[in-house]
Amino acid sequence: MHMATKDKLDALRLPELQARFKEVVGEATKSPNRKFLIRRIDEALAKKAEAKPRGRFKELSVEELRAKYVEVVGRPSGSSSKPYLVWKIREAEKGHVPVGPRTSRRREGEPTDMRILPLRLEARVVDKMDDAWRERDIPNRMEFFRRALGHYLKHLGASDAARAFEQEA
């Protein structure tokens, strides 16, 4: 706290200090503890001082920052955090983050419309299953599942669905 401010607060009578507390902190108090009141006033003033936005982005709203983000980074952001958007824009301008659309993780020739199916099995069952497909020289677990599903669908009489798995192999 600035000494002049502390001296001014120390010079106030208790009712005046309580009124100043309400004005700065925003809460009414009946506390007779002068040190407490002065400390809380100091904390509130410090918080207000550091909360002032600065720099060229201080006046921009989140939507305006998102638009600037698209302009600078080259892809949209779903973030609603002003500090993050400002940081990311500045980092992109400095060349510290990649700009432009994200490269796809898709491999060449891999179909684009893929779905992931959840499968939960006990560890001992998975261990036995893995031993079985490895003994039969099947290249990996995914290929094992594809063949097994195709075989089962054929057994059920769903020939069209089974053929889709034959094409995968």
Q: How many CB atoms are located within 10 Å of the residue 78 CB?
A: 5
Interval 38-67 mean pLDDT: 82
pLDDT of residue 98: 87
Query: Residue 135 sits in which domain range?
Result: 123-168
8 and 46: one domain? yes
Q: Is residue 103 assigned to a domain?
A: no
pLDDT of residue 99: 86
Q: Is residue 99 assigned to a domain?
A: no
44 and 83: one domain? no
For 24, the enclosing helix (H) or strand (E) is helix 14-25
**What would you measure as the largest C-alpha separation in the chain, in angstroms?**
93
Nearest one of 40, 103, 114 to 75, comparing CA atoms:
103
Q: Is the pLDDT score of 135 beyond 90?
A: yes
46 and 70: one domain? no
Q: Is residue 107 assigned to a domain?
A: no
Q: Is the pLDDT score of 126 beyond 60?
A: yes
Asked if residue 146 lies in contact with residue 114, where contact means CB atoms within 8 angstroms, the answer is no
> What's the domain count of the chain?
3
Higher per-residue pLDDT: 52 or 131: 131
Interval 148-155 mean pLDDT: 93
- pLDDT tens-digit profile of 73-119? 999 998 999 899 999 999 999 999 888 887 766 666 666 777 888 88
77 and 45: one domain? no
